[in-house]
Amino acid sequence: MPVRASSADRFHVDSSGIGQTDDVTDSVGPDPQYELFADEFLDHAREGLYNAHYDRPACLRLLGEVAGRTVLDVACGPGLYAEELVGRGARVIGLDQSPRMVQLCRQRVPSGEFRVHDLADRLHWLPDDSVDLVLFALGLEYVDDRTSTLRELRRVLRPDGALVLSRLHPTGDWLRHGGSYFDVRIVEETWSRGWQVRYWLAPLERTCEELHEAGFLIERLVEPRPTAEAAHVDRDRYERLLREPIGFLAIRALPAPWR
């Protein structure tokens, strides 16, 4: 659970009514936070309610048919998505900032191609229009220049491809942290297993703007509900997630044809 929130950056609404961020001086930075608890994350996310019965089913549904397609798994973590995707016939290229996560991926999915990569850097090792689908699950929050990263994902995506991303639900973030819902700011939390994480809070509008600025059109936005199996994992959480927007949301976006 959260213990501390820090530093708000300025977010204002311009004359068009669209929010803009300026004077952002804070950053999550290049430290691979998940390196310290990569193995524990694998243990937690393999069968845990939030990942196995809530986020993964939603994103996999949004990705659709993957057989024979090349999927770029961005912030791939320990390879749980990659395993599902390869099982469904996809070719997977994965990247993560944490070397231990990449090691876990290579062990779990030997047919995948994984590399250590910080999303602050350009994907110089991938040509334009080289992947059919991009999956970016639960990683956007850790990226400082999200628009540049999304622009780079659009560059490597084929024009007829799609990006599927999930992020913490901004309503849940705001309920936990209070303050202004519209502030774009960094928070630090200590999660239940003692994991310390530092990441960006941003209103839904900001994520939509970043996708727009990067040249994407939002096709679908989903506020997932947990699957029925989640009730057997943790009935209280399952019932709360059926009622309250305190988990994640998922978006399917297409490259805008005019960019």
Ligand X SMILES: C[S@@+](CC[C@H](N)C(=O)[O-])C[C@H]1O[C@@H](n2cnc3c(N)ncnc32)[C@H](O)[C@@H]1O
| Per-residue contact flags (x/-) with ligand X for residues 44 to 63, judged by CB under 6 A | -x-----x------------
**Which residue number is nearest to ligand X in terms of Cβ?**
77
Residues 85-124 interacting with ligand X (rule: CB under 6 A): 96-98, 101, 118-120
- If phi > 0 it is left, if psi is from -120 to 50 it is alpha, else beta; for residue 130 that is alpha
Are 3 and 189 in contact, with CB atoms under 8 Å apart? yes
Q: Please identify which residue in 63, 76, 85, 230 interacts with ligand X, judged by CB under 6 A.
A: 76
Q: Which is nearer to ligand X, 185 or 198 (CB)?
A: 198
In the bound state with ligand X, the residue whose beta carbon lies nearer, of 75 and 184, is 75
Q: Cβ closer to ligand X: 168 or 254?
A: 168
Q: Among residues 101 and 164, whose Cβ is nearest to ligand X?
A: 101
Q: Is 143 in the site for ligand X (CB under 6 A)?
A: yes
Q: Cα separation of 139 and 10, whole Å? A: 22
Confirm if 78 and 105 have CB atoms less than 8 A apart: yes
Spatial distance between the Cα atoms of 58 and 63, rounded to a whole number of angstroms: 9
Cα–Cα separations (whole angstroms), residue 101 to 33, 123, 211, 253: 11, 18, 26, 26
**Footprint of ligand X on this chain (CB under 6 A)?**
32, 34, 45, 51, 75-77, 80-81, 96-98, 101, 118-120, 137-139, 142-143
